[in-house]
Amino acid sequence: MNELDLRNKRVLIRVDFNVPIKKEKIISDTRIIASLPTIKTALKRNAKVIIMSHFGRPPEESYDYRFSLFPIVKYLKNKLPDIQINLVKNYLGGIKANIGELTVLENVRFNQGEQENDEVLAKKYAKLCDIFVMDAFGIAHRSHASTCGLAKFAEISCIGPLFFKELEVLTRVMKNPSRPLVAILGGSKISTKFNLLNSLSKIADSIIVGGGIANTFLAIHNNVGKSLHEPNFVKSANILLNKHNIQIPIDVRVSTEFSENTVAKIKQTNNISDNDFILDFGDKTINSLILLLNQAKTILWNGPIGVFEFPNFRKGTEMIAQTIANSDAFSIAGGGDTLAAIDLFGVKNNISYISTGGGAFLKFIEDNNLPIISIIKQRVK
């Protein structure tokens, strides 16, 4: 974007404002804060600035106020008090945008064909602008009408400063990291992370796994009770474990019920009962991981290792967050749950770089590419 003349141009910026909202109050504003410099730059350069985003998963082709961007517009008005900000609900037939104002298009997922990357819809988006700026790194692994489709049909397409910074930091870690590099990968399903674990193993010296992924590794040689795991992938997990330096817990916090106020009990991983839910790491595991992280020079973190939303099962995630924050290592954190944990434990200012992407963060590490990058490179040619 910074290489283009934006004066008097209709500049449509695809942002990622898919932030957690409860009772019309924004719980985490990390993604919005990260996008503000791009918006402010376009406004200062006298563009007619339009922004678009998705929010949640509403049913297509039907307006649902629960998924409106209204709370985000309200937030933006506080952050940009001198700018006229307009939320536009019906825009596919065309809109009027003015210099010095900010036009916010209502949730793109209200439009039929958005997630299917419908060409007709993408062409309607393209008619709204002279320049399309892709700055939504968090959705960059998806081929939607407001990302890949719009990039294909807009008169001029480019990436924004935030997107560029994300690529710059991740490329640095993948190609020339300071070592040792320790990666932390949480999540529920190992089945979706095989290629990623193989890709991570090529750049990481150690990989710490958490959540349902860790439970599937534990199930190779242990009973995991009622814990979230994938029995059909235990054999595949064993192959990964034998090939790579993957750290799995030696003790865990368990409960016989999955509820917020349930009491935690620490057990060795070879002593799990049939009725147990594994919900966090135990103290021995946490202490050993702290030692490992303290030796790291680069830390890549995506996903909590336990059910940190439950007070009695947040110690593992909290201690890892605090250790990363106190470390001299270059640290990158990404993913919605990771951002929520960072906010909860108050360590935002001590993480070297917070990525706005979750799936895109992981997809770029896995493939060293994203669909939108391929399209914009082709458009440049």
* 336 carries an active-site annotation: yes
Catalytic member of 336, 357, 358, 363 = 336
Annotated binding-site residue? 55: yes
Annotated binding-site residue? 221: no
Annotated binding-site residue? 54: yes
Number of H helices, E strands in the chain: 13, 17
Return the residue matching tokens 């050993």. 288
What 3-state DSSP class applies to 42? helix
Please name which of 241, 171, 232 lies closest in space to residue 209, comparing C-alpha atoms. Answer: 241
Annotated binding-site residue? 45: no
Side chain identity at residue 356, one-letter code? T
Helix axes 161-175, 359-367, angle to 10 degrees: 50
Cα gap 304→320, rounded to integer Å:
9
* 149 carries an active-site annotation: no
State the DSSP string of 172-240.
HHHHS--SSEEEEE--S-STTSHHHHHHHHHH-SEEEE-HHHHHHHHTTTS--TT-S--GGGHHHHHHH
Annotated binding-site residue? 205: no
Annotated binding-site residue? 179: no
Annotated binding-site residue? 335: yes
Q: Are 69 and 26 in contact (CB under 8 A)?
A: no
Return the residue matching tokens 């992924």. 213
* 94 carries an active-site annotation: no
Catalytic member of 189, 226, 348, 379 = 189
Return the residue matching tokens 């960059």. 140
Annotated binding-site residue? 336: yes
Annotated binding-site residue? 233: no
Annotated binding-site residue? 379: no
Catalytic member of 31, 152, 253, 363 = 31
Question: Which residues are CB-neighbours of 276 under 8 A, at least 6 positions away?
Answer: 224, 225, 226, 227, 254, 255, 256, 267
Annotated binding-site residue? 283: no
Catalytic member of 160, 187, 357, 359 = 359
Burial of 277 (0-12, 13-18, 19+ CB in 10 A): buried
* 9 carries an active-site annotation: no
Annotated binding-site residue? 109: yes
- How far does CA 53 lie from the centroid of its chain? 15
Please give the annotated binding residues, written as ranges.
16-18, 31, 54-57, 109, 142, 193, 309, 335-338
Annotated binding-site residues for (2R)-3-phosphoglycerate read 31, 109, 142
- Specify binding-site residues for substrate: 16-18, 31, 54-57, 109, 142
Catalytic positions, written as ranges: 31, 189, 336, 359
